[in-house]
Every structure is written in C-alpha cells, then in structure tokens.
Chains A and B, each alone.
Chain A
Amino acid sequence: QVQLQESGPGLVKPSETLSLTCAVSGYSISSGYYWGWVRQPPGKGLEWIGSIYQSGSTYYNPSLQSRVSISVDTSKNQFSLNLSSVTAADTAVYYCARHIYTWDYWGQGTLVTVSS
C-alpha cells in the first residue's frame, strides 16, 4: 500500500520560505510516476503547485513558478517543496501526492499558516 506523509513547520513568518517534505512508503519514487504538491486554502478549492518526475524533471504552476522549487531524495524515498517569499495568501493545507494523469495516492495534508 502506497503511503505519503507530509512534514514541516506549521507556522511560517511572512517573507520567509515554506519548506515541506513528503516521505513515501510502499513504492519507490525512482520506479515511476510524478510526485506533486497541491494546496487548499481554508474553505477554498485545490491548486496544483508543482510536480517532479522520477527523472528529476520539474514542472510548476506558472502562477507560482518564480517562488517554487521541488526536489527529490531517492536515497530517502522522499521529495520536498520550497516556497519562498510567503504571504498570508499562502496559508493552506498542503498535500503531497502520487500522480500521472490523475492523482491516486495522497498524503493526509498539513496545515501551514503564514503569520508573524
């Protein structure tokens, strides 16, 4: 059974960098699939942030591209998200997930609040 688990600070100060890690179990990241991040502001809809392929190629939402970086650590079977220069508008539940055309396995999500 594929499982994903997000980890990272639940509170980030404005203008700082949000950093999250997604640990994957039950499947090797290097075996295939895209590994991505989706966020959901409180009471709002889903927004794709970006994804990384097994090869290390990255793809980002154009609206966030200038602030987003996703990387993978195959030795630890995990991938990470960095979102720089955060503001209150970046407050959301952040999900990591496995996907190709559709998103099939999701982490439980972690709430990140941007506040001083």
Chain B
Amino acid sequence: EIVLTQSPGTLSLSPGESATLSCRASQSVSNNYLAWYQQKPGQTPRLLIYGASNRATGIPDRFSGSGSGTDFTLTISRLEPEDFAVYYCQQYGSSPTWTFGQGTKMEIK
C-alpha cells in the first residue's frame, strides 16, 4: 500500500506570493497517476491537477503540477485570496486502490 506524505503541514504566505507544496510517495506511483485537490471549509474537494501535471477543466494556469516516480510538487503562483485552503494529493495504484495524502493547509500570513 502506497503512503503519501505531504509537506509542509501548514504554509503561511501572503497574496501575490508563490507556493510550493510537496507530496512524497512511499513507492513509485505507476503511470504518474497523481492528482491534486483543493478543499475549502464546508466544501467538497475540487480536482486541480491530474496525471501529475495536467490541469483540470477550468483551473487557472497559476496552478501547475510536476514530478514523477515518488516526488511530486504543486506550485501556485501569484496567490489570490481564494487560494487559501487545504490541498491534498491523491494516487491511484494497482489492485486497484486510491490513497490521499494528509493535506497541506495554506493560510494567509
């Protein structure tokens, strides 16, 4: 079973800055089946990135994903007030199974 570890746990930044969120897998993620989600309080998770680097429909180009194997990154440039939320990575593995990371909370500094 693949475990996803996200870092940092909390990220304090100001609007206009850039954010770099990390997701590390305990084993290689097959076919880069790694996704990122944004969740705001009281809302359901929203798909941002799939296949490690592909933006989902309607997601601004300020959001970008990169990485392969066991190390993945979500970068958010020019932070907007609405970007402050919790971010989760998620992988799809053989068997099949699905795993979520524990989340990174991005808060306004």
Contact = CB atoms under 8 A, between A and B. Distances in A.
Contact of A48 (B47, B50, B98, B102): B98
B102 A103 contact: no
Interface residues of B, number: 23
Contacts, number: 53
Interface in B58-95: 88, 90, 92, 95
Contacts of B95: 59
A92 to B, nearest CB: 13
Contacts of A48: 97-100
Contact of A102 (B50, B97, B103): B50
B45 A45 contact: no
A35 interface: no
Nearest to B99: A48
